[in-house]
Amino acid sequence: MKKTPIISLIMLGLLSLTTQAESLNDGLINCTKITNSSARLSCFDKLASVVTSSNISIEKSTTTVSTAKASVAAPRPTPTPSPVVDKVANFGLEHIEKPNKSDEDAEIVFVIASLKKDPYGKYRFTFENGQQWKQTDSSRLKVRVGESVVLRKGFMDSIFLKQNKADSNKEIRVKRLK
């Protein structure tokens, strides 16, 4: 199959787009010169209707070009991301599995169910929902079982734990285990 007619058809379409863009720029300049606001608005509305109708004709022409070519594959439908079912269950799993990221999951509050220190003096937390976390830095923080703590996301998926108090600014870096 010869590709010359297809290429020439595409080039012709691109050429018409550039001439249309030039006429659109001229129309915009003319509309900005109008001092009456309602007349200026109607001028911009006319330009918008011209642009939308030409976009529809361009889409139709590209569809005919792609159907004429035998080797063009049909576009794959993009899968819709599944919503995060439970943000508490997925908080801190970035290094285990990659969930959908969202800015609304920046902080979350937990209550400590059990607390242990390893031989290096770093904490291992188990929260009331069963999640297990460990301290990864050497900072010190005094926390107790039954205390409410806040976990917040930091730079590059790091997670910090601090006491859930208004005047608390001391925090430690933690990582989720389970």
What secondary structure does DSSP assign to 70-107, as a single string? TTPPPPPPPPPPPPPS-HHHHTT-TTTS-----GGGSE
Residue 61: which domain range?
Answer: 4-68
Same domain, 158 and 98: yes
Q: Which of 24, 39, 68 is the last residue of a domain?
A: 68
Whether 95 and 172 map to the same domain: the answer is yes
Shared domain check, 171 and 99? yes
Give strand ranges (E) for the chain. 107-117, 123-127, 132-135, 148-153, 159-163, 171-176
Residue 81 lies in a domain: no
CA atoms within 13 A on the CB side of 160: 17
Max mean pLDDT range (19-23, 83-87, 88-92, 138-142): 138-142
Q: Is the pLDDT of residue 122 over 80?
A: yes
40 in the same domain as 10: yes
Token readout for 95 is 């290094």
pLDDT value at residue 33: 86
How much is the pLDDT for 38?
84
Give the total number of structural domains in the chain: 2
Q: Is the domain of 55 the same as that of 95?
A: no
Backbone phi, then psi, for 85, in 5-degree steps?
-70, -50
**Residue 136 pLDDT class (50, 70, 90 cuts):** very high
132 and 100 in a common domain: yes
Evaluate whether residue 135 is within a structural domain. yes
Q: Is residue 34 part of a domain?
A: yes
pLDDT at 81: 46
Question: Does residue 96 share a domain with residue 164?
Answer: yes
Tell whether 151 and 115 lie within a shared domain. yes
Does residue 172 share a domain with residue 133?
Answer: yes
**In this structure, what token pair is assigned to residue 167?**
């005047």
Give the total residue count for the chain: 178
152 and 118 within one domain:
yes
Tell me the average pLDDT across 107-113.
90
Of 20, 38, 68, the residue at which a domain comes to its end is: 68
Domain membership of residue 144 (yes or no) is yes
Tell me the pLDDT of the chain averaged across its residues: 75
Same domain, 46 and 123: no
pLDDT tens, residue by residue, 48-85: 777 666 555 555 555 554 444 444 455 555 554 445 45
Q: Is the pLDDT of residue 113 over 80?
A: yes
Q: What whole-number distance in Å separates Cα of residue 151 and Cα of residue 171?
A: 9
Q: Please indicate, yes or no, if residue 8 is contained in any of the structural domains.
A: yes
pLDDT on residue 68:
45
Question: Which residue has better confidence, 30 or 173?
Answer: 173
Per the domain annotation, does 146 fall within a domain?
yes
Q: Give 32: exposed, middle or buried? Use CB within 10 Å, 0-12, 13-18, 19+.
A: exposed
Decide: 176 and 93 in contact? Cβ < 8 Å: yes
